[in-house]
Amino acid sequence: MTRVDPSVSIWDVERIWVTAGAVALIFLAAIEALAVTTVMPVVSEALDGQSLYAVAFAGTLATSVIGMVATGAWSDARGPRGPLYAAVSLFILGLVISGLATTMHQFLVGRLIQGLGAGGQTVALYVVVARLYPQELHGRVFAAFAAAWVVPSMVGPFLAGAVAEHIDWRWAFLGVAVLTALAFAIIAVRLRGVDLGGGTPQNRRALVVRLLLAAVVAVSAVVVGFAADLDAALRWPAAVLAIVVIAVAVQPLLPRRTLRAGYGLPSVVLARGMAAGAFFAAEAYVPYLLMERFGFSATWAGVGLMLAAFAWAGASALQGRFGDRLGNRRIALIGLGLVLFAFLSVLTAALFGISPAIAIVGWAFGGGGMGLLYPRLTVLTLAYSNDDDQGFNSSALSISDATGSAVAIAIAGLGVATLGGGSGAFGVVFAFAIVLAVLALIPGLRLGRGAEAS
């Protein structure tokens, strides 16, 4: 076991500003991602874009796939400095366009650009860590990154709701853009002149094919979302065709037999995409449900998501401590079981108008389920990988996550558009999430025994 020299730290003089800037960038990306969930009901009403509500989520996730693939390839070929600068610039540009939008379509253009930057930014920062920090500090850096996600998950929805209600929803985007620019300035100044290493020769043909496939997946996912804005007769045929295209194009970006729930790593990657799709498709409509069905303000709708954030963080900690002893199969059953209970709770609240406490408390169980399942799938991906395929497998996990979420959210939005809103439309969203979570049990029970304690 490698001992870490206590005199070497991610906060020492040589690295403190890079660490601070990188953690701040992760923190702000998390704040923005969580803020959108709370403020989108306000935005869609202000810009008269209810039919495109789901695209605001799905489009960003879809274009993040392109950002992930492009930044990874660029970093391997040239080093991470250029990709990081480009990704952060796109993220800020997208925030500014969305924050200044006067129509829903302008807002969505900003969200699509923002997705390119968000997907690339995280990948580039990971490469910076690999190049700049000694290996014994990597765990500490990623722990700091994890903390930068946990804190926003607890306070982000509330803050975003308060900003939308008491100031203006636009500052949920413009404020993050300003702060991101400041954080970026800190890290850019410190990285200037620092040797981050060069690149290695790349198979250009393979890279071009990979980028084209990522673009096809992203565009097709956006098409599924925009199908809600088409004539009623064209909506579902266009969506089904786009989903078929995604299923074909995404396969080379994932381990073999992933879409057939192959035993081991393929099922790990598939389970991540299906669980993410089910949870985030439902989560996109939980604040909407609280505001429209129960009269919550944006602030209190954000508070309604906080219990789930606390549960996610707590369950993640439990998984980290006891995950190997629990075993992969048991974690999958418990995690997906808790998620299903959450979906049933919000479905009951939506259909029967019972106390919103049922939806809020029930949703917390869903956060706990995802907190158990999500990190376990990451651990399993690394356990099934070696030095030759760690990059591909980690990328595949992120692509499955983003693609599954984008497509599921878009399908949910299409269902809402078809029914024209109301309790029945909410019911369709949560029922769809239930079906997807049940299907996720298929790969969930085929995760294999990787990383389990012997």
What pLDDT, on a 0 to 100 scale, did the predictor assign at position 453?
55
What pLDDT, on a 0 to 100 scale, did the predictor assign at position 93?
96
Q: With contact defined as beta carbons under 8 Å apart, do 322 and 379 qualify?
A: no
**R_g of the chain computed on alpha carbons:** 21
Higher pLDDT, 323 or 217: 217
Higher pLDDT, 165 or 202: 165
Is a pLDDT exceeding 50 seen at residue 159?
Answer: yes
Is a pLDDT exceeding 60 seen at residue 92?
Answer: yes
What pLDDT, on a 0 to 100 scale, did the predictor assign at position 103?
92
Residue 452 — φ and ψ, nearest 5°?
Answer: -75, 150
* Average pLDDT value for residue range 226-232: 81
**Secondary structure (DSSP) of 187-210:** HHHHHTT----------HHHHHHH
State the number of CA atoms in the 13 A half-sphere of 16 facing the CB.
3
* Average pLDDT value for residue range 148-161: 72
At 71, which helix (H) or strand (E)? Answer: helix 55-78
Is a pLDDT exceeding 80 seen at residue 403?
Answer: yes
Buried residues in 183-211 as b, exposed as e (16+ CB within 10 A): bbebbeebbeeeebeeeeeeeeeebeebe
Higher pLDDT, 50 or 253: 253
Is a pLDDT exceeding 80 seen at residue 66?
Answer: yes
Q: Mapping DSSP to helix (H, G, I), strand (E, B) and coil, where does residue 302 land?
A: helix
Range picked from 12-26, 136-150, 414-428 for highest mean pLDDT: 12-26
What pLDDT, on a 0 to 100 scale, did the predictor assign at position 2?
45
What pLDDT, on a 0 to 100 scale, did the predictor assign at position 194?
66
Q: Mapping DSSP to helix (H, G, I), strand (E, B) and coil, where does residue 246 land?
A: helix
What pLDDT, on a 0 to 100 scale, did the predictor assign at position 199?
57
How large a percentage of the chain has pLDDT more than 70? Answer: 91
Higher pLDDT, 264 or 196: 264
Is a pLDDT exceeding 80 seen at residue 235?
Answer: yes
* Average pLDDT value for residue range 23-33: 86
What pLDDT, on a 0 to 100 scale, did the predictor assign at position 48?
87
**Secondary structure (DSSP) of 80-143:** SHHHHHHHHHHHHHHHHHHHH-SSHHHHHHHHHHHHHHHHHHHHHHHHHHHHHS-GGGHHHHHH
pLDDT tens, residue by residue, 35-50:
787 788 888 888 988 7
Distances (CA, A) of 257 to 9, 251, 252, 302, 401: 42, 8, 10, 39, 17
Q: With contact defined as beta carbons under 8 Å apart, do 364 and 311 qualify?
A: yes
* Average pLDDT value for residue range 235-240: 91
Across all residues in the chain, what is the average pLDDT?
Answer: 84
Q: How confident is the model at residue 233 (pLDDT cuts 50, 70, 90)?
A: confident
Distances (CA, A) of 89 to 25, 77, 117, 338: 12, 20, 7, 39
pLDDT tens, residue by residue, 313-322:
788 878 777 7
d(CA 185, CA 103): 31
What pLDDT, on a 0 to 100 scale, did the predictor assign at position 195?
62
What pLDDT, on a 0 to 100 scale, did the predictor assign at position 305?
78
Q: How confident is the model at residue 110 (pLDDT cuts 50, 70, 90)?
A: very high
* Average pLDDT value for residue range 145-164: 73
d(CA 365, CA 427): 19
Range picked from 13-22, 61-70, 341-350 for highest mean pLDDT: 341-350
Q: With contact defined as beta carbons under 8 Å apart, do 46 and 146 qualify?
A: no
pTM of the predicted model as reported, rounded to 2 decimal places: 0.79
What pLDDT, on a 0 to 100 scale, did the predictor assign at position 1?
40
